[in-house]
Amino acid sequence: MLSNSKMEYEQLAAQMDGAKTDLTKKVNEISKAAAKGDIVEAAEEHAKNLAKLAKDLEDTVKNASGRSEVRNAKDAIDAYKNITDAINAAEIAAKEAKDAADNALNNVKKQNLTERAKNLKKNGENLLQNANQAGERPRKRCK
């Protein structure tokens, strides 16, 4: 009987030890969660403060944008941006025009168009001279 009681006691002690381990884990988890509660509350408070600051900044910008100095400065900034955009567009157009001119010059050189134009002009002048001479011959015969 004593050995049964001792065995029963050891089983109960083992169960209590396991329960104690589980209980310790749960207490630790609850403690960690409670510690995080302060952090969450601080974060929520900080978020409220940031939202208020954002609203204040938005109101300040709205109030300032109605002032003539701010409007004039904004107009000047817009004008400057338009000028720089126009300059950039002009630079791009000038580069494209230069590239097109260089390409045309290269084509003239590659195809020897200058020499061909001279030859065509000379040939045309010869044809005109021959045509003029041919036209004079019948007049001489008719006279």
* Angle, vertex CA 85, rays to CA 81 and CA 91, nearest 5: 145
| pTM metric for this prediction | 0.39
Residue appearing with tokens 């290269």:
106
Query: Going residue by residue through the chain (143 aa), what tens digit of pLDDT does each one get?
Result: 667 777 777 777 777 777 778 778 887 887 777 777 777 788 899 999 999 999 999 888 777 767 788 788 888 999 999 999 999 999 999 999 999 999 998 888 888 888 888 999 999 999 999 888 887 766 655 55
Domain boundaries in the chain?
1-65, 67-104, 112-143
